[in-house]
């Protein structure tokens, strides 16, 4: 029984407790996070198909829970105002009241959308997240940010609404396609870079094993044997701890939380721009390019050790992630950067620039010319 005990991380976000549990689903006690049963479920379609018994496992000991479930396809397209409106109609049909609970089961896209629905329905209902991708387990499920895309921009409409419980079971990852593993690795590497030099060293030390499972293969297919090949539970727990610690200290992103945007300023730009091209980038791929670029810029300026920049680039490449892409035309780059949601009217775009692993400058400035140079 002891070895099934979940790893637990406690957060207190805006005065509200938020608990992260990592372990086999059956031991995660969903009922503890549902004050007024029954909850309703918003579930990723692939997860519902590939893991049909998830509901039984998580509901162990809760016979009275309902099966009011909305199954939606995962993916960036789901993060829209139109889908949000569909969810509201469904919540009304299900009769979800102010004391209700929405349980979301899926990757970052389902969690961002369902979290926004939970934070706005009846001015906010209880939210529980079951992350099913690596990215969601180490990043999207923690910290209470919700969002949909709108007006041609990524994530401009959103709220802060932390999940009361985040219940993570690595077993979900057995069906994860290679592309989603790579995306998750980009965020895990980012987290290690901002807050856990030992985790970064461990990941870099495991480069060859990572390359064996992640560097080649069909991006749309699961990776056989990957779960047993590396210490995923340990790494996920460590990365989740870093994120939890950062959001605990700065829930509203006025200070240290901005470090989590490492690689994201440029990442959002190339992600948005690439959607118009023949090779659209995923979120993780875009963040990888963004991280490689800021390390190169910082190393070139002499504000970060060159060997660190080289290690970051090596590790990203061994995880099958891109480290550069064709630069958008300068005018497009400048316009997209101006639309960055982290820009304020007074101080322009603030970049997260590395000084060393574990230490970031949160107020960096980078010129479009530097970016174009390093992208190409
Ligand atoms: N809120 C936050 O703090 C935060 C942080 C980081 C990223 N995000 C957001 O997260 C999103 C990306 O999340 P993601 O990478 O998890 O993408 P995703 O939700 O699109 O999942 C990737 C793909 O994997 C499928 N999938 C999910 N779980 C699976 C499983 N266990 N087995 C097989 N297939 C599975 C999905 O259907 C989808 O096709 C972006 O929209 C990003 O903006 C949010």
- Write down the architecture of domain 194-251+261-375 according to CATH: Up-down Bundle (1.20)
Measured CA to CA, the distance from residue 294 to residue 352 in angstroms comes to: 8
Establish whether residue 240 lines the binding site of ligand 1, counting it when its CB lies within 6 angstroms of any ligand atom. no
d(CA 224, CA 228): 9
Question: Residue 54's pLDDT is what?
Answer: 85
**pLDDT tens for the chain, residues 1 to 376:** 345 688 999 999 989 999 999 999 888 889 999 999 899 999 999 999 999 888 888 877 676 676 799 999 999 999 999 999 999 999 999 999 999 999 999 999 999 999 999 999 999 999 999 999 999 999 999 999 999 999 988 889 999 999 999 999 999 999 999 999 999 999 999 999 999 999 999 999 999 999 999 999 999 999 999 999 999 999 999 999 999 999 999 999 989 999 999 999 999 889 888 988 888 999 899 999 999 999 999 999 999 999 999 999 999 999 999 999 988 888 888 888 877 555 544 456 889 999 999 999 999 999 888 888 888 7
**Closest to 225 (Cα-Cα) out of 181, 162, 282, 283:** 181
Which DSSP string corresponds to 137-181? Answer: IIIITSS-EEEEEETTEEEEEEEE---SEEEE-GGGGGG-BHHHH
pLDDT at 2: 43
Residue 145 appears among annotated catalytic residues: yes
The residues pairing with 126 across neighbouring beta strands, listed in sequence order, are: 101
d(CA 252, CA 305) in angstroms, rounded, equals 31
Active site residue: 154, 283, 296, 350, which one?
283
331 CA → ligand 1 middle, Å: 31
Rounded distance from Cα 14 to ligand 1 centre (Å): 25
Q: Is 139 in the pocket of ligand 1 (CB under 6 A)?
A: yes
> Is residue 174 within 8 Å of 227, Cβ to Cβ?
yes
64 neighbors 74 (Cβ within 8 angstroms): no
The reply to whether ligand 1 has any atom less than 6 angstroms from the CB of 107 is yes
Token code pair at residue 88: 């509201």
Nearest CA to ligand 1 atom 25: 74
- CATH code for 2-175? 3.40.50.1970
Indicate the top mutation candidate among 51, 54, 74 to test ligand 1's pocket, ranked by most ligand atoms within 8 A of CB. Answer: 74
Annotation says 283 is catalytic: yes
Q: Where are the domains of the chain?
A: 2-175, 194-251+261-375
pTM score = 0.94
Q: Which residues of 248-273 are buried (b: 16+ CB within 10 A; e: fewer)?
A: bebbebeebbbbbbbbbbbbbbbbbb
Rounded Cα distance between 163 and 161, Å, is 7
CB-based burial, 38-64: b 16+ in 10 Å, e otherwise: bbbbbbbebbbeebeebbebbbeeeee
């Amino acid at each position: 029984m002891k070895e099934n005990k979940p790893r637990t991380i406690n957060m207190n976000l805006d005065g509200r407790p938020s608990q992260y549990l990592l372990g086999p689903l059956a031991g995660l006690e969903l009922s503890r996070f549902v004050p007024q049963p029954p909850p309703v479920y918003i579930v990723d379609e692939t997860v519902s198909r590939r893991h049909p018994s998830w509901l039984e496992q998580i509901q162990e000991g809760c016979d009275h829970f309902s099966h009011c479930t909305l199954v939606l396809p995962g993916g960036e397209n789901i993060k829209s105002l139109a889908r949000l409106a569909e969810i509201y109609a469904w919540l009304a049909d299900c009769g979800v009241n102010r004391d209700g609970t929405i349980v979301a089961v899926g990757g970052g896209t389902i969690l961002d959308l369902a979290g926004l629905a939970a934070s706005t329905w009846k001015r906010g209902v209880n939210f529980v997240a079951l992350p099913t991708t690596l990215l969601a387990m180490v990043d999207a499920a923690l910290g209470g940010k919700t969002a949909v895309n709108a007006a041609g921009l990524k994530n401009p409409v959103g709220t802060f609404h932390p999940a009361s419980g985040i219940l993570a079971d690595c077993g979900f990852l057995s069906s994860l396609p290679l592309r989603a593993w790579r995306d998750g690795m980009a965020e895990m590497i980012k987290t290690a870079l901002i807050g856990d030099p030992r985790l970064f060293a461990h990941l870099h030390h495991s480069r060859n094993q990572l390359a064996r499972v992640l560097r080649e293969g069909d991006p749309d297919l699961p990776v056989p044997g990957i779960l047993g090949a590396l210490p995923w539970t340990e790494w996920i727990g460590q990365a989740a701890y870093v994120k939890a610690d950062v959001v605990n200290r700065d829930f509203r992103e006025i200070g240290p939380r901005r470090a989590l945007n490492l690689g994201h300023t440029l990442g959002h730009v190339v992600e948005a721009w690439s959607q118009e091209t023949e090779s659209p980038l995923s979120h993780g791929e875009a963040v990888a390019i963004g991280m490689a670029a800021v390390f190169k810029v910082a190393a070139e300026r002499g504000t970060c050790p060159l060997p660190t920049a080289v290690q970051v680039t090596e590790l990203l490449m061994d995880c099958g992630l891109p480290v550069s892409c064709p630069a958008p035309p300068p005018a497009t780059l400048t316009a997209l950067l101006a639309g960055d949601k982290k820009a304020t009217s007074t101080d322009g775009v603030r970049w997260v620039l590395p000084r060393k692993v574990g230490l970031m400058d949160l107020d960096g400035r980078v010129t479009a010319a530097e970016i174009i140079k390093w992208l190409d």
